[in-house]
Structure 1
Amino acid sequence: MIKSTALATLLFVLVAFLGFQYYITSVPDLAEPVSVEETRFIERDNSLLVTLRGNEGRQFTLGLRGDIENKPKETALFFISNPELVPYVYWPGLRSNDEKRVLELLEDVIEREAQDEAAISRIYEVLKNRN
C-alpha cells in the first residue's frame, strides 16, 4: 500500500512538472488585438528583442541573438513566455516546431498591425528564410 501511494505521488509530481515545463516554454495564444509594447537592440549581446502584449495584458518577449545582418541563418531565437510567473528564457532549436509557432504568431501580428514594426519584420524575415 505504501509503495503504490508513493508511486502514485511520484507519477503525479512528474506529470505536474511536465505540465509546468510546457506552460513556461510554449508560445502563448495572445488575445486580440496584439500590440508591440517594446523593441530593443542590445549591442553588447547583439540581440534584437520585441515584447508583445495581448488584449488581456499577457506579455510575450521574443528575440534573436547573433549576427543578424551577416549570418541570419545562424542567429538563435529565444523567448520568454511567462515572465510574470517564471522569467525563463527558452531557446528553441533551429527549424523546430516552436520556431514555426513563433513565425505564425509574427505573421498574425504583421497582418493585423497597420504599422509595420521594423524589429518584428526583421525577426520574421530571418525565421521565414530559415523555414
Structure 2
Amino acid sequence: MPYQDVFVLFWEQVKESFQEGRFAKLTMAKTIGKPNLRNIFVRPLSSEDDFKVLVKLRYQSRDTEDEEKELTLDEAFVFLKPYLKTSFWSVLLFTTTKDVIFKINKKGAGSITEGSPTFRDVREAKSDVR
C-alpha cells in the first residue's frame, strides 16, 4: 500500500491515543542522507482552550537553533506530511499502552508495526513559543 495511505491509518492511531490521554510522544527518525535536520519530536501540550502539541525540530549543527511550534493535532499532520520520504523513513508513536512504528520502504510502500510501550506516563511538554 502506498505510504501516504498507510500514514493516514497511522495518524488515526495518533489521534485516538491523544483523545484517550495515552499519547506520550511522536518522533520522526531514520533520516534520509545527511541532512541538518536530525529529528522532529511531537509532545502533548495542554492549553486552556483545547489540546495542542509542541512540535520541535532538532538540528545536527550547533549553528542552527532548534525550532518549536505549537499546533493542533490536525495542523501537526499537515506540517509533518511533507517530511515523509523526503527527510525521514519512519515515524514512532509512543503511547502508554503500545509503541506504533510507521515505516516507508525503498519502493515507497508503508507499513505499521506495534510493540510494547516505552512510556508509562504522559508528560506534557513545556513550550518556549511566544
Bin of the TM-score, shorter chain as denominator length:
0.3 to 0.5
Q: Could you say which structure has the higher strand fraction?
A: 2
Q: Could you say which structure has the higher helix fraction?
A: 1
Higher relative contact order, structure no. (Cα contacts within 8 Å, ≥ 6 residues apart): 2
The structure number with the bigger radius of gyration is 1
